[in-house]
């Protein structure tokens, strides 16, 4: 049987590339993008990496480097990144019969349909198309398993060679192994810090070592995930391409505040906003929830202030995606856990017990009304369509209203040039 051909397409420094699209002078400068609340660094340009700015580093720790080297600093602009990601994925969709969107900046493509000797050329065409149609540069790794295509992509980025595409398929086994020897175990997809520690304790330091490790030992002392990684390194594909996004089994919305919040009223406003957003996500995947968890927390890093963290859960009488139902329950839960006198840093909601909305509801006491349910769903569909057309939060529920003084800090966000008319790029 012919082995499968996996291509991993990975956008280069994706968030930075997005920012550069709308600001030409960022081209050769060091650029970083921050997490929510401008907390820590979540994306770095090549130049910023070279300066030694680390992934996940708190902003205040690299302030000196930023000033010294005039690093361009951006708050995260997810509206922009998601829109550009969608554009990249739609180009990729046209390049393969089987696309798996793995993350905002990565996708797997099956290239089973491409003749073996045309793979490199085809991958170059993919890169050029994406660049031409979206402006985003990408790297491509090609191999017989997902894990090896990750390795290939990593080698492209690490060595800045291969012209953006690395196809490992034609390589003899010894050549693959030679390159695997240069990859540390902790840099393999699926091997995190804990597994690395155990592997290193057994003298397994490189991807090559792991590929040749003893199966029985791996299974017994580690886990089945690690065993799959070993097989995948050997060229035995265990992880197929998943074309359809599985509906989420849990939906969480939780954001840290831009400043400490003490008032119940502000917490209600924030939680209502998060709940409406979670409900929207729920409806988008055609699901209902029947269990709600609400949580509340002070800032665990602020050792000097009194700490409090609490959560509460409750079940809905019947599964729902009707925002007012979820709001009622979420706010009631918030009231049970709220204690005055604390400086809260975060609240959030987590929806679980999620199931498809077409599964017919059985109700022991006859309280559930299919007619009312249908009316509610219709109302929410209207709200969602309205908001999709006129912009997020054009229509919203009363408890969300307020001045949003708690909203996250975003002092350096670029224009939402692709999703807001009033922020469109102007050329003068």
Stretch that binds DNA, among 36-44, 357-365, 376-384, 417-425 (CB under 7 A): 36-44
- Closer by beta carbon to DNA, 192 or else 370: 192
Query: Residue 194 or 393: which CB sits closer to DNA?
Result: 194
Name which position in 54, 63, 94, 236 contacts DNA (CB under 7 A): 63
Residue number, 176 or 270, with CB nearest to DNA: 270
* Chosen residue from 102, 162, 368, 396 binding DNA by CB under 7 A: 102
Cβ of residue 155: shortest distance to DNA, in angstroms? 14
Residues with Cβ < 8 Å from 229, sequence gap 6 or more? 147, 188, 189, 190, 191, 210
The Cα–Cα gap between 41 and 92 comes to 28
By the rule CB under 7 A, 7 interacts with DNA: no
82 binds DNA (CB under 7 A): no
Q: Is 286 in the site for DNA (CB under 7 A)?
A: no
Q: Is 410 in the site for DNA (CB under 7 A)?
A: no
Q: Which of 354, 355, 315, 307 is nearest to 332 (CA)?
A: 315
Nearer to DNA, 256 or 288 (CB): 256
Phi, psi of 400 (to 5 degrees): -80, -15
Between residues 124 and 202, which has the closer beta carbon with respect to DNA? Answer: 202
Task: Give the count of residues interacting with DNA (CB under 7 A).
Answer: 46
Nearer to DNA, 122 or 350 (CB): 350
* Mask for 176-215, x = binds DNA (CB under 7 A): ------------xxxxxxxxx-------------------
Answer for which of 127, 150, 208, 413 binds DNA (CB under 7 A) is 150
Smallest gap from residue 120 Cβ to DNA (A): 23
Binding to DNA, residues 109-148 (CB under 7 A):
none
Q: Which long-range contacts (CB under 8 A, 24 or more apart) does 260-263 make?
A: 260/298, 260/299, 260/343, 260/344, 260/345, 261/343, 261/344, 261/345, 261/406, 262/340, 262/341, 262/342, 262/343, 262/344
- Which pair of structure tokens corresponds to residue 342? 């604390």
Residue 162 and residue 415: Cα distance in Å, rounded? 35
Q: Which stretch binds DNA (CB under 7 A): 29-37, 111-119, 176-184, 210-218?
A: 29-37
Asked whether position 273 contacts DNA by CB under 7 A, the answer is no
Position among 64, 246, 358, 426 found at the interface with DNA (CB under 7 A): 246
| Contact between 397 and DNA per CB under 7 A | no
Residue 281 binds DNA (CB under 7 A): yes
Using the rule CB under 7 A, give the single segment among 118-126, 251-259, 368-376, 419-427 that binds DNA.
251-259
Regarding 408 and contact with DNA (CB under 7 A), the answer is yes
By C-beta, is 114 or 195 nearer to DNA?
Answer: 195
CA distance 45 to 23: 14
Residue 229, both tokens: 């990684």
Which residue(s) pair with 261 in the sheet?
344
Structure-derived torsion over alpha carbons of residues 412, 413, 414, 418, reported in degrees to the nearest 10 = 180
Q: 409: burial class by Cβ within 10 Å (0-12, 13-18, 19+)?
A: middle
- Chosen residue from 236, 243, 302, 359 binding DNA by CB under 7 A: 302
Output the smallest distance, CB 427 to DNA, in A: 32
Cα separation of 277 and 280, whole Å?
5
Among 256, 276, 252, 272, which Cα is nearest to 264's?
Answer: 272
Q: With binding defined as CB under 7 A, does residue 316 bind DNA?
A: no
Q: Specify the DSSP element, H or E, that contains 336.
A: helix 323-337
Q: How far apart are CA 90 and CA 94, in angstroms?
A: 7
- In three-state secondary structure terms, 131 is helix
Evaluate whether 107 touches 96 at the Cβ level (below 8 Å).
no
Q: Which residues bind DNA (CB under 7 A)?
A: 35-37, 39-40, 42, 56, 58-60, 63, 102-106, 150, 188-196, 223-225, 246, 248-256, 281, 299, 301-302, 346, 348, 408
């Amino acid at each position: 049987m012919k082995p499968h051909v996996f291509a991993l397409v990975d956008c280069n420094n994706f968030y930075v590339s997005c920012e550069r699209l709308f600001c030409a002078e960022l081209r050769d400068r060091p650029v970083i993008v921050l997490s929510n609340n401008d907390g820590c660094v979540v994306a770095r340009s090549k130049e910023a990496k070279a300066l030694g700015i680390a992934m996940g580093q708190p902003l205040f720790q690299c302030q000196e480097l930023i000033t010294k080297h005039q690093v361009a600093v951006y708050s995260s602009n997810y509206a922009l990144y998601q829109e550009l990601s969608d554009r990249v994925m739609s180009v990729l969709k046209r390049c393969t019969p089987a696309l798996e969107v793995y993350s905002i900046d990565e996708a797997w493509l099956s290239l089973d349909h491409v003749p073996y000797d045309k793979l490199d050329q085809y991958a170059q065409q993919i890169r050029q198309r994406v660049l031409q149609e979206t402006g985003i540069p990408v790297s491509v790794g090609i191999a017989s398993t997902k894990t090896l295509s990750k390795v290939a992509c990593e080698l492209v980025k690490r060595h800045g060679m291969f012209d953006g595409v690395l196809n490992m398929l034609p390589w003899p086994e010894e050549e693959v192994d030679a390159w695997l020897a240069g990859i540390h175990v902790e840099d393999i997809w699926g091997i995190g810090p804990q597994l690395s520690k155990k592997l290193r304790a057994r003298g397994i330091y490189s991807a090559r070592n792991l590929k040749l490790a003893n199966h029985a030992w791996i299974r017994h002392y580690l886990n089945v995930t690690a065993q799959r990684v070993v097989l995948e390194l050997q060229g035995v594909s265990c992880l197929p391409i998943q074309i359809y996004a599985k509906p989420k089994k849990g939906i969480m919305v939780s954001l840290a505040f831009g400043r400490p919040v003490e008032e119940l009223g502000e917490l209600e406003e924030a939680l209502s906003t998060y709940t409406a957003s979670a409900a929207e996500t729920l409806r988008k995947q055609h699901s209902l929830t029947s269990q709600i968890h609400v949580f509340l927390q002070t800032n665990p890093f602020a050792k000097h202030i009194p700490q409090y963290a609490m959560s509460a859960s409750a079940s809905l009488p019947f599964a729902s995606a009707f925002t007012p139902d979820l709001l009622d329950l979420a706010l009631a839960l918030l009231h049970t856990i709220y204690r005055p006198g604390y400086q809260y840093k975060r609240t959030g909601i987590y929806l679980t017990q999620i199931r498809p909305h077409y599964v017919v509801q059985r109700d022991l006491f006859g309280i559930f009304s299919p007619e009312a349910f249908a009316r509610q769903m219709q109302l929410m569909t209207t709200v969602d369509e309205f908001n999709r057309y006129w912009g997020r939060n054009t229509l919203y529920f009363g408890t969300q209203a307020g001045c949003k003084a708690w909203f996250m800090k975003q002092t350096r966000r670029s224009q939402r040039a692709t999703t807001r008319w009033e922020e469109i790029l102007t050329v003068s």
